[in-house]
Chains A and B, each alone.
Chain A
């Protein structure tokens, strides 16, 4: 049992024991897009894992010993080694575990994926900013900025002439940027990609991926979570449980 739907641990909770051999543990939160990256890679590579959800609005003291930044995702293996920062966790899993390689072997192709990742980097804070303002002040400025960022990604797909960001099949970079586009679908904001047709096609192709579809966010639970989260409600992380 992966425990991905388990209640989160908060302040005052007992620290979990060591990770059993043969498994890797991921400290996560059901709606965190950064942690989603790691969960997607774990799924795509078929890696046996257990999930401990953290209440990000009420963090357990012991969690800062796992990651001094106090953020999810964090990986912990049975040797007690800890890895944090979502992109680093994903790359670690790809290197340390057998099976299909998500990052290309070719140094230039690998570098290209990392350059696209940099290109994407303004989207997470922008999207969050957009969602914060949705029902309040005018968010057209943020929306325009978001469109600009999406256009950059559109240009990559147009130039490459492939369905996915790494080529004709799905690879690491697609999983790394996916969680924010999943949000757009869950919140019915697909119009944000109306002017970027290749990006729209990419989203449709992603939805067909087994890892993506099996981990697809529940739109109702997500909306419930988001409302509570934006109000800094301590119960947000466990919405729907």
Chain B
């Protein structure tokens, strides 16, 4: 079970409190590919997951929080307990078919992902959120330092821009029992463009020999090819298949891989317009 395995908040839910210092909050949904990008970057940057704090400590002088087991995890002044002053993140999943009224104060159209920091600053659009995390947090940089290499990664993102829409259309069409040969052809063409890049560069990853931001930005849609029923779209792109295999070896990607059966369960309920779809597979 991945970190973010918590029930969604829907209409009528109480708005969450402010984000404690030392934390950044992600409004998300467990199966959303755009939010998946942000979860990958949070993990890759070492901004570790922490469950949402539910209650304040009852001691009058302490401004700390208690976790779900009643343990104080934040000291006064909002600093994290123990030696760990490492940055952390919490996740609030949103029921996208039954959005909480308060969520529109976080995003004008109620979309995810959205980041909220302890200053109450909100950042949305998955790519903007990922870049913000790379800029704002220390340690491993996911975008290259070199200006030209950074620009190259952003140009690659443009090359990828039709993929999300096409994969979604394939999914919807197949689920409605219709054939999607034209869509798959279009998707294969996009994959050929990406294949050409890998061939020209002669590197495993899109940014070079090591995984970097652009790979994480692409990944969520490739992880979904199988469960969407369109895995054969990479039949003619061997370099892309090698990239997929290499990505699955990455610890960050690995840690966030979504269980196929749970994903299928979600998809089944989603296409039946069941608002409980988003909580499929949660034990509590």
Interface residues of A (CB under 8 A from B): 77, 81, 83-85, 88-89, 91-92, 95-96, 107-108, 110-111, 114-115, 118
Please, how many residues of chain B have a CB less than 8 angstroms from a CB on the other chain? 19
> Which residue on A lies nearest to B119, using beta carbons?
A108
A89 to B132, CA, bound (A): 19
A111 to B151, CA, bound (A): 17
The residue in A84, A85, A88 that gathers the most chain B C-beta atoms within 10 A of its C-beta is: A88
> Of A92, A110, A111, which one neighbours B148 at CB under 8 angstroms?
A92
A108 to B121, CA, bound (A): 8
A85 to B117, CA, bound (A): 31
B123 at the A/B interface (Cβ < 8 Å)? yes
> Of B125, B135, B148, which one neighbours A81 at CB under 8 angstroms?
B148
Main secondary structure of the interface of A (DSSP, over half): helix
The residue in A89, A91, A115 that gathers the most chain B C-beta atoms within 10 A of its C-beta is: A115
Closest Cβ–Cβ distance, residue A4 to chain B (whole Å): 23
Q: Do B123 and A111 touch (CB < 8 A)? A: yes
The residue in A81, A91, A111 that gathers the most chain B C-beta atoms within 10 A of its C-beta is: A111
Residues of B within 8 A of A77 (CB): 148
Q: Do B128 and A115 touch (CB < 8 A)? A: yes
Q: Do A118 and B123 touch (CB < 8 A)? A: no
Q: Do B154 and A111 touch (CB < 8 A)? A: no
B158 at the A/B interface (Cβ < 8 Å)? yes
Residues of A within 8 A of B136 (CB): 107-108
Q: Do A115 and B123 touch (CB < 8 A)? A: yes
Q: Do A88 and B154 touch (CB < 8 A)? A: yes
Residues of A within 8 A of B132 (CB): 107-108, 110-111
Residues of A within 8 A of B121 (CB): 108
B248 at the A/B interface (Cβ < 8 Å)? no
A114 to B155, CA, bound (A): 16
Residues of B within 8 A of A84 (CB): 155
Known interface pairs A85-B155, A114-B128; A107-B148 also in contact (CB < 8 Å): no
Q: Do B124 and A83 touch (CB < 8 A)? A: no
Residues of B within 8 A of A96 (CB): 147-148
Residues of B within 8 A of A114 (CB): 125, 128, 131
> Scoring B residues 127 to 167 as 1 if CB is less than 8 Å from chain A, else 0, what string do you get?
01101100110000000000110110011001000000000
Closest Cβ–Cβ distance, residue B11 to chain A (whole Å): 26
Closest Cβ–Cβ distance, residue B155 to chain A (whole Å): 6
A193 to B62, CA, bound (A): 53
Q: Do B128 and A118 touch (CB < 8 A)? A: yes
Closest Cβ–Cβ distance, residue A169 to chain B (whole Å): 21
> Which residue on B lies nearest to A77, using beta carbons?
B148
Closest Cβ–Cβ distance, residue A23 to chain B (whole Å): 16
A38 to B129, CA, bound (A): 25
Residues of B within 8 A of A92 (CB): 147-148, 150-151
Known interface pairs A95-B147, A107-B136, A115-B128; A88-B123 also in contact (CB < 8 Å): no
What are 16 A-B interface contacts by the 8 Å CB criterion? A83-B148, A83-B151, A83-B155, A85-B158, A88-B154, A88-B155, A92-B148, A95-B147, A95-B150, A107-B132, A108-B132, A110-B132, A111-B128, A114-B125, A114-B128, A114-B131
Q: Do B135 and A107 touch (CB < 8 A)? A: yes
Q: Do B125 and A115 touch (CB < 8 A)? A: yes
A183 to B147, CA, bound (A): 31
A111 to B135, CA, bound (A): 10
Residues of A within 8 A of B131 (CB): 110-111, 114
The residue in B119, B128, B129, B151 that gathers the most chain A C-beta atoms within 10 A of its C-beta is: B151
> 10 tightest A-B contacts by CB?
A107-B135, A107-B136, A95-B147, A96-B147, A92-B151, A111-B132, A114-B128, A83-B151, A88-B154, A111-B123
A10 to B55, CA, bound (A): 68
Residues of A within 8 A of B125 (CB): 114-115, 118
> Which residue on B lies nearest to A81, using beta carbons?
B148
Closest Cβ–Cβ distance, residue B160 to chain A (whole Å): 13
> Scoring B residues 242 to 281 as 1 if CB is less than 8 Å from chain A, else 0, what string do you get?
0000000000000000000000000000000000000000
Residues of B within 8 A of A88 (CB): 151, 154-155, 158
In B157-215, the 8 Å CB interface with A consists of 158
A107 to B128, CA, bound (A): 10
Residues of B within 8 A of A95 (CB): 147, 150
Q: Do B151 and A91 touch (CB < 8 A)? A: yes
A108 to B119, CA, bound (A): 11
Closest Cβ–Cβ distance, residue B241 to chain A (whole Å): 23
